Copies of this chain bind each other. A is one copy, B any other.
Amino acid sequence: MNNALVKKLEGYVPLDAEDKRLLDSVLQEPRTVVPRVDIASEGEKPVFVHLILDGFACRYKFTAEGSRQIMAYLLPGDFCDLHVFVLKHMDHSIGTISKCTVVDIPRDQILKLLERPRLSLALWCCALVDAAVLREWLLNVGQRHAAQRLAHVLCELLVRLRIVGLADNSYELPLTQSDLADTIGTSNVHLNRVLQELRRAKLIAWKGHHLVILDIEQLMKFSGFNPNYLHVGKDGADELAL
């Protein structure tokens, strides 16, 4: 299971045996979390860094008026809140979407990992790639039309799920249309309409929770998707400088 994380980190920085032993020691007690439940909530004092081993989670936040913005999807191998282990309060929440397997890593364990130079760099990479994804989402929501935004999100999920071996030309997508609407900043009604637009254009098919990408070429072109911002090459490593 933890191979997902080790594989991801080694995609960034080669690790030695002691690095891996240390990582392993941190992933000892995974637990299962039911769907649609918070793993961490806004305002809390962060005690643990959470790592997703299996399942689909998201990072989100509400406005004062009560509308929700999803700010990241968290897939197997992803840290949920590495970015917040130094901060006093969570400025957003983490919630499961499907059933998840999660590890809670105490803050001081993370500090111990950071003492090892290669692990430290690998964790930097995680944080920096997360930020890169966030920037692309801002561009997406700020500058593209709803149909392009939706297509872009679906492209990103395809690429990221492929990296962890959970997609080929299709994948399980446990999201509701309202989730997607809150991701790209539209109403759920409008999301439904642009979704049908993509279906009519024979770019995707989506039924149950199974999404099929019918024409990835066109879908990428239509949405302006360019995977560079994910900083992962074909073999999962060659886009990093280290």
Copies of this protein in the complex: 2
> Given A117-B115, A138-B138, does the pair A132, B240 have CB atoms closer than 8 Å?
no
Within 8 A of B (CB), among A103-146: 107, 114-115, 117, 120-121, 124-125, 127-132, 134-139, 141-144
> Given A120-B114, A131-B130, A224-B64, does the pair A141, B88 have CB atoms closer than 8 Å?
no
Q: Does A83 contact B (CB under 8 A)?
A: yes
Q: Does A61 contact B (CB under 8 A)?
A: yes
A42 to chain B: closest residue by CB: B228
A130 to chain B: closest residue by CB: B131
Q: How far is the CA of A240 from the CA of B139 in the complex (A)?
A: 29
* Size bin of chain A's contact surface: 35 or more
Q: Does A175 contact B (CB under 8 A)?
A: no
Contact A63 B120 (CB under 8 A): no
Q: How far apart are A61's CB and chain B's nearest CB, in angstroms? A: 5
> Given A117-B115, A135-B91, does the pair A143, B242 have CB atoms closer than 8 Å?
no
Contact A134 B132 (CB under 8 A): no
Q: Does A57 contact B (CB under 8 A)?
A: no
Interface string of A201-241 (1 = CB under 8 A from B): 00000000000000000000000101011010000001111
Q: A71-B135, A71-B139, A127-B127 are in contact. List 20 more A-B contacts (CB 8 A).
A: A45-B241, A65-B224, A69-B139, A83-B127, A86-B124, A86-B128, A88-B238, A88-B241, A89-B228, A91-B228, A114-B120, A120-B120, A124-B127, A130-B131, A131-B131, A134-B134, A138-B138, A141-B185, A142-B184, A142-B185
